[in-house]
Amino acid sequence: MRVNWNYIKLAFLSVSVVALYGFADARSKKRTVSDISIKFLGDNNLYLTEDAVNKLLIQNYGPVKNRPKEQLVLNTIEEVILSDDMVKNAQVYLTVNGELISKIVQRKPIGRVEGISKFYLDDLGKRMPLSKHHSARVPIITGEITGKTLEDAYVILNYINEDDFLRKNVIGIHIESEGKYQLRFRMENFVVNLGGVDNLNEKFKNFMAFYAKATKDNSLENYAIVSLEFSNQVVCTKI
């Protein structure tokens, strides 16, 4: 009987590959986490520290460094990090060297509410707690704080942040009542009665035309109130 050595070689090779894979897999499972790396993405990294993230993991998941890799549940670690009120998004993964990498995007405040309770309004229009690590330089929101007025304030802030001049100069939004919003400017004594959030493009276009003319005439300091509430016009009250 003739022996087919090709089949024998193939069988031997297959057994060797399975054995090597099993050996490598067993060694991999025995490996521990060699280090933890916390990376904050983007330019908004002021409200949460690396130490705070490590503390959060220890309190809610237990020690991670030197822990066997097979004991880690990456989805659970992500959920722990996402539970922090300052975190917008998080991604966790292990490198081949056993390093645990956590990439974190922090939330971005665009306004600060000063009322009975104090908090930020973030770039998604959600409430965000104040941070003990940093105080954001954003417009202050005061007055009649309700769910609806905060929604409107969010619309106004989004518009302001799209305009270079307004973003640099508007320092506050005062809510007199629903549909009556007042803006305060950094360098000017007057306030701007915006009215509601309808036709913001037209209102601010009219305001910028007024501001350019009043700046040229050196008359800005003569006004106490600049009203944009009326259709296609700017109504001013002098001091």
Structure confidence at residue 145 (pLDDT): 95
Q: In whole angstroms, what is the distance from residue 149 CA to residue 177 CA?
A: 8
Kindly give the pairing relationship between strand 118-122 and strand 87-94: unpaired
pTM of the model: 0.80
Tell me the mean pLDDT in the region 72-99.
93
> What is the second-level CATH architecture of the domain 35-106?
Roll (3.10)
Record: fold of 109-238: Rossmann fold (3.40.50)
pLDDT score, position 213: 92
Q: Average pLDDT in the 130-139 region?
A: 93
3-state secondary structure of 40: strand
Q: How many CB atoms lie within 10 A of CB 137?
A: 8
Eight-class DSSP state of 235: E
Proportion of the chain above pLDDT 90, given as a percent: 66
The residue extents of the domains of the chain are 35-106, 109-238
